[in-house]
């Protein structure tokens, strides 16, 4: 049978059949009753914490029906987002069911807990798809105290060999408060030959000057301080030509071990005789008073004789 349909009629018929075929295949066409995702609302504005501009790093969150639906970080003090088209904003995603629902705001930061925003301008923010509006935020937050400084003090800054003193470290915080953090701090001597530290107690070891350092860390903040300690010799310094200082071997206050070798013998008598008129000996008569004079002002040959007699009875 001859085809009597004009060419343009055949083309229309083909298109109708193609559309019918596509509609019959699921997922290839969008049905008219599909609900497209609404355009987010977008907010920007000023933000204050305790009546002061919020610092960079503060995060602002928005909630709808108790769910967090958007957030933005403050990058410039006191401001979040921008009305400019290409600039970031607090985008709040919602559904058609959220139209007209109130938006609530929260702030969170590195030095305070997440807190609800108590005041907005305008007073009420209702979510509308595609909204672009300025919303100023104000919240009262409880900041965590921040460490500002520590101070190290010694009960005594001058000690004699063998004596001890106690170190105390007081921390000062940005809210003006103070706390004794001695037990939590690290304390060390930068001159351990002169003084050592153990459990906050400083012990004088040898004559000289020592720097004691304390360091305390809280959260991500570390502060330190130093104190100076002078250790003085209990007995006389070494006599000329002798490396070691004299020693008091029996604790009576007289230093019979003149050469400091830990023994008392004839060489000590000889050493005192050789150094009798040195400044070391004459400046410390109380340590070489072997003649047992009352309140001696100088060391004499009689003290050398007294040392010899002490050796004979040792």
In a domain? residue 261: yes
Residues paired with 195 in a beta bridge: 204
In a domain? residue 19: no
Predicted pLDDT of residue 155: 97
Helices (H), the chain: 7-24, 266-274, 279-282, 301-313
CA–CA–CA angle 31, 34, 38 (5° rounding)? 145
β-pairing, 59-64 vs 104-109, is antiparallel
Looking at the fold, whether 168 and 79 belong to one and the same domain comes out as no
Domain, as residue range, for 133? 41-139
In a structure prediction context, what are the per-residue pLDDT tens digits for the chain, which is 314 residues long?
444 444 443 433 333 333 333 334 444 444 444 567 899 999 999 999 999 999 999 999 999 999 999 999 999 999 999 999 899 999 999 999 999 999 999 999 988 999 999 999 999 999 999 999 999 999 999 888 889 999 999 999 999 989 999 999 999 998 889 999 999 999 999 999 999 999 999 999 989 999 999 999 998 899 999 999 999 988 899 999 999 999 999 989 999 999 999 999 999 999 999 999 999 999 999 999 999 999 899 999 999 999 999 999 99
End residue of a domain, out of 86, 110, 139: 139
Looking at the fold, whether 154 and 112 belong to one and the same domain comes out as no
Sign, CA torsion 136/81/116/123: positive
Looking at the fold, whether 56 and 72 belong to one and the same domain comes out as yes
Number of folded domains in the chain? Answer: 3
Beta strands in the chain (DSSP E): 41-49, 52-53, 59-64, 67-73, 79-80, 90-92, 104-109, 112-116, 119-121, 132-134, 136-139, 147-154, 158-160, 164-173, 178-180, 186-189, 195-198, 201-204, 208-218, 221-232
In a domain? residue 154: yes
DSSP 96: G
Residue with tokens 């305390």: 216
The answer to whether 150 touches 224, Cβ cutoff 8 Å, is: yes
Beta strands in 140-207 (DSSP E): 147-154, 158-160, 164-173, 178-180, 186-189, 195-198, 201-204
End residue of a domain, out of 139, 172, 191: 139
In a domain? residue 6: no
Residue 207: give its domain's CATH number: 2.60.40.1080
Looking at the fold, whether 170 and 188 belong to one and the same domain comes out as yes
Looking at the fold, whether 82 and 130 belong to one and the same domain comes out as yes
Residue 51: give its domain's CATH number: 2.60.40.10
Predicted pLDDT of residue 220: 81
β-pairing, 41-49 vs 136-139, is parallel
Distances (CA, A) of 172 to 149, 153, 179, 214: 5, 14, 7, 14
In a domain? residue 240: yes
Predicted pLDDT of residue 233: 83
End residue of a domain, out of 232, 260, 279: 232
The answer to whether 212 touches 200, Cβ cutoff 8 Å, is: no
């Amino acid at each position: 049978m001859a085809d009597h349909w004009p060419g343009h009629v055949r083309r229309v018929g083909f298109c109708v059949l193609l559309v019918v075929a596509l509609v019959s295949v699921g997922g290839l066409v969008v049905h008219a009753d599909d609900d497209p995702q609404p355009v987010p609302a977008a907010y920007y504005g000023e933000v204050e914490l305790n009546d002061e501009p919020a610092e960079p790093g503060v995060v602002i969150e928005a909630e709808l029906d108790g769910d967090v639906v958007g957030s933005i970080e403050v990058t410039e003090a006191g401001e979040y987002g921008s009305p400019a088209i290409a600039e970031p904003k607090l985008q709040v995603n919602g559904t058609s069911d959220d139209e007209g629902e109130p938006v609530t705001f929260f702030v969170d930061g590195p030095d305070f807990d997440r807190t609800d925003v108590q005041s907005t301008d305008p007073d009420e923010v209702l979510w509308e798809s595609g909204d672009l509006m300025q919303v100023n935020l104000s919240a009262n937050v409880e900041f965590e105290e921040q460490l500002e400084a520590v101070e190290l003090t010694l009960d005594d800054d001058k000690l004699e060999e063998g004596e001890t003193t106690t170190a105390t470290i007081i921390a000062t915080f940005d809210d003006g408060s103070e706390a004794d953090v001695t037990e939590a701090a690290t304390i060390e001597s930068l001159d351990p030959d002169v003084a050592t530290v153990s459990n906050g107690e400083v012990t004088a070891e040898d004559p000289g000057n020592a720097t004691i350092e304390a360091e305390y860390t809280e959260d991500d903040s570390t502060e330190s301080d130093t104190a100076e300690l002078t250790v003085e010799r209990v007995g006389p310094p070494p006599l000329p030509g002798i490396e070691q200082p004299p020693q008091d071997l029996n604790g009576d206050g007289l230093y019979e071990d003149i050469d400091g070798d830990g023994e008392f013998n004839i060489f000590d008598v000889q050493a005192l005789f050789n150094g009798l008129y040195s400044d070391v000996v004459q400046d410390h008569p109380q340590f070489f008073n072997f003649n047992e004079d009352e309140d001696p002002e100088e060391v004499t040959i009689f003290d050398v004789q007294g040392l010899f007699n002490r050796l004979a009875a040792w």
